[in-house]
Amino acid sequence: MLRLLTIEFHKLKHNRASKVLSLIYFGLLTSIALIAAIKFEFGNFKLHLADAGIFNFPYIWHFNTYMAAILKFFLLLVIVSMMANEYSYKTLKQNLIDGLSKKEFILSKFYAVILFALVSTIFVFVISLILGFAYSDYNELSIITTDLEYLFAFFIKLVAFFSFGLFLGILVKRSAFAVGAMFVWLIIESIFKGYLFWTFQNAENTTEKVNRIMQFLPLESISNLIKEPFSRLNAVKSAANMMGETFTKSYAVEFSTILIVSFWTFIFIYLSFVLLKKRDL
């Protein structure tokens, strides 16, 4: 495993585009901290985000993982190009001739994906911890360690998303088209969702029924892992309450979603392997 990782790392560390994108990604992750500096002042209305409770433990785990996950597209480019480049440089063929098995080849990419996700997760953990200690109203250990499953969900989310990118990279062999294919797939899922809404328009609990089906689709399940944290914020909640709206939404990380997403991850990696095995290079 270490051998495969060092092989992959060797390929990445000399590639300027990958290095720059990774640096931008981790730079942007760090910049989550800058949210703390956001202050709005409209006459009497003052909003200082850091004071609004977004950095309170345990809410910070939810908020930061959600924000950090948006940045995953930068790493997607790295992942997809690290796969597609092997085709365009024909180095995949050379790697196999040099004695890497097809299984090892896929595994080396998958290990790299896991490593990227792991480093991102640790990064987010450390930043959240620092921000939390700086701004949180509650610093008891029991509160800090609550809701840590968001970090786990974040990790699973990245692994699944990048595995999808890896698979598309192998499938279409060109980085730009692979990213395009992911976008096309997103549109397909959206159209399907629209179709479901149309089908169930007369039924009771339309949204619930649609979601029950949609939760099994790859991108939808990946985005379901960490739900939007904004309506959970006390400030927003109380504002909504004043207007007579109540939220009864569950924000928890669902175990079933983790299962579905892990299943997709397995499918993507396994299909990549099958595809590589069947192809003549």
Binding site for other proteins (CB under 8 A): 3, 6-7, 10-11, 14-16, 89-91, 93-102, 104, 277-278, 280-281
Token couple for 223 = 């985005």
Nearer to other proteins, 98 or 204 (CB): 98
Least distance (Å) from other proteins to the CB of residue 124?
Answer: 30
Q: Where are the alpha helices (DSSP H) in the chain?
A: 2-13, 16-30, 59-70, 72-88, 91-97, 102-135, 141-144, 149-172, 175-199, 206-214, 218-224, 234-242, 255-278
Least distance (Å) from other proteins to the CB of residue 102?
Answer: 8
| Nearby residues of 155 by Cβ (< 8 Å), 6 or more positions away | 117, 118, 120, 121
Phi, psi of 229 (to 5 degrees): -95, -5
Nearer to other proteins, 84 or 253 (CB): 84
Nearer to other proteins, 99 or 244 (CB): 99
Q: How many Cα atoms occupy the beta-carbon half-sphere of 205 within 13 Å?
A: 5
Least distance (Å) from other proteins to the CB of residue 5?
Answer: 10
Phi, psi of 145 (to 5 degrees): -85, 0
Least distance (Å) from other proteins to the CB of residue 252?
Answer: 44
Least distance (Å) from other proteins to the CB of residue 100?
Answer: 5
Q: Determine the Cα–Cα distance for residues 194 and 207; give it in Å rounded to an integer.
A: 11
Least distance (Å) from other proteins to the CB of residue 169?
Answer: 16
Token couple for 171 = 């499938």
Q: Is the peptide bond before 218 cis (omega within 30 degrees of 0)?
A: no
Token couple for 209 = 């029924």
Nearer to other proteins, 21 or 68 (CB): 21
- Signed CA dihedral, 163, 168, 174, 178: sign only: negative
CB atoms within 10 A of CB 143: 15
Least distance (Å) from other proteins to the CB of residue 85?
Answer: 8
CB atoms within 10 A of CB 85: 20
